């Protein structure tokens, strides 16, 4: 693991690190914010999964999360959204290939050799973080934006006991029924739709739910509402009787101005679960 940069921030350190990933078979870069308390011992960890076109950097510089995490004494990790590099398959579209990993393990060519973001986020990166930083891996929570909200919800429900709480900003909520999903799931996982179901938060919510609190924020003026399909997730939450808060926020769109506006609420929500 190599340190690319470390900047003092809110009494702690915002670092950027790169490492050779076995899951993705390429170098992967991530951001990690450690609050001041990490100097004295392990601290809880909140994952932030980013959306389409993002790298590790977008949320790290634009979401305004570090100040709230510092106040709560918790760490933040900002993974990249896909494998990257010259030898890694890509597509001209912004929503497939590099920058659009969709948090799945691809089984189809040309994606299968590198696009294993599920394993990267579920297994490899947690092990690397635990080994190298003062993190209490018994206290984890997860959030994300758009494609990252999809990843946060599907990972949290698939790994019971791993995350104490899950939240999402404008998640891709029903990818098996959306052009943000059908295209990518068929490219990465093939045409057999039974393989897709584990990667649709609304279907998994209806089927299994999450053993802990859930917080969803969705902008009512989001320009991508037709692709995100929040109604499918709201319906599944209600049908499941899932412990959850689902907020439709008047006037907000899909941008980081929306994300940062509600970041305090999300970090506080997770801190309440992490310090319980």
We find the least distance from the C-beta atom of residue 247 to its own copies, in angstroms, to be 14
Active-site residue, from 56, 145, 150, 254 = 254
Beta strands at 26-34 and 75-79: parallel, antiparallel or unpaired: antiparallel
Residue 157, classed as helix, strand or coil, is helix
Q: From the CB of residue 235, how many other CB atoms can be counted at a distance below 10 Å?
A: 16
Q: Which of 89, 96, 76 is nearest to 24 (CA)?
A: 89
What is the chain's length?
276
Which of residues 56 and 116 has its CB atom nearest to its own copies in the complex? Answer: 56
Considering the complex, state which of residue 209 and residue 219 has its C-beta at the smaller distance from its own copies.
219
Q: Which of 21, 50, 82, 146 is labelled catalytic? A: 146
- Comparing CB distances to its own copies, the nearer of 64 and 113 is 64
Distance from chain centroid for Cα 275: 21
CB of residue 260 to its own copies, shortest distance in Å? 7
Please confirm, yes or no, whether 222 is among the known catalytic residues.
yes
Is 36 or 138 the residue whose CB approaches its own copies more closely? Answer: 36
Please, is 247 exposed, middle or buried when counting C-beta atoms within 10 Å of its C-beta (0-12, 13-18, 19+)? middle
Q: Using only the alpha carbons of the chain, give its radius of gyration.
A: 17
Looking at the Cβ atoms of 16 and 203, the one nearer to its own copies is 16
DSSP classification of residue 121? I
- Which residue, chain included where needed, has tokens 């790290």? 60
- In the complex, the smallest distance separating the C-beta of residue 253 from its own copies, rounded to whole angstroms, is 6
Catalytic residue among 80, 200, 217, 222: 222
Q: Which is nearer to its own copies, 127 or 220 (CB)?
A: 220
Least separation, in Å, of the C-beta of 221 and its own copies? 7
Return the DSSP state at 276. -
Sheet of strand 166-169, all strands in order from the earlier edge strand to the far edge: 2-9, 12-21, 26-34, 75-79, 43-49, 135-144, 166-169, 214-219, 244-249
CA angle 201, 226, 99 (to 5 degrees): 65
Give me the least distance between CB of 38 and its own copies, in Å please: 14
* Chain contacts with its own copies (rule: CB under 8 A): 7-11, 14, 61-62, 64, 66-67, 219, 221, 249, 251-253, 255-258, 260-261, 264
> For 79, phi and psi rounded to 5 degrees?
-75, 165
User: To the nearest whole angstrom, how small is the minimum distance from the Cβ of residue 266 to its own copies?
Assistant: 13
User: Where in the sequence numbering do the catalytic residues fall?
Assistant: 146, 222, 254
């Amino acid at each position: 693991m190599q340190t690319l940069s470390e900047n003092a921030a809110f009494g702690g350190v915002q670092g950027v690190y790169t490492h050779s990933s076995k899951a993705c078979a390429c170098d992967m870069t991530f951001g990690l914010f450690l609050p001041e308390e990490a100097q004295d011992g392990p601290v809880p960890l909140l994952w932030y999964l980013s959306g389409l076109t993002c790298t590790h950097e977008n949320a790290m510089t634009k979401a305004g999360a570090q100040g709230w995490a510092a106040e709560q004494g918790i760490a933040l990790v900002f993974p990249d959204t896909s494998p990257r590099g010259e030898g890694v398959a890509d597509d001209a579209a912004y929503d497939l290939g590099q920058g659009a990993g969709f948090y799945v393990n691809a089984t189809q060519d040309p994606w299968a050799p590198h696009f294993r973001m599920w394993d990267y986020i579920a297994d490899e990166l947690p092990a690397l973080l635990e080994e190298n930083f003062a993190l209490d891996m018994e206290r984890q929570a997860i959030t994300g934006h758009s494609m990252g909200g999809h990843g946060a919800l599907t990972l949290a429900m698939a790994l019971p006991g791993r995350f104490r709480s899950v939240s999402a900003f404008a998640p891709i909520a029903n990818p098996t029924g959306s052009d943000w999903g059908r295209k990518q799931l068929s490219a990465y996982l093939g045409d057999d739709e039974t393989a897709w179901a584990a990667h649709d938060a609304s279907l998994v919510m209806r089927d299994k739910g999450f053993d802990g609190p859930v917080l969803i924020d969705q902008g009512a003026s989001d320009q991508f509402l037709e692709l995100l399909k929040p109604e499918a997730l709201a319906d599944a939450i209600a049908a499941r009787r899932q412990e959850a808060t689902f907020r439709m926020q008047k006037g907000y769109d899909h941008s980081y101005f929306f994300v940062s506006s509600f970041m305090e609420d999300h970090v506080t929500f997770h801190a309440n679960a992490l310090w319980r």
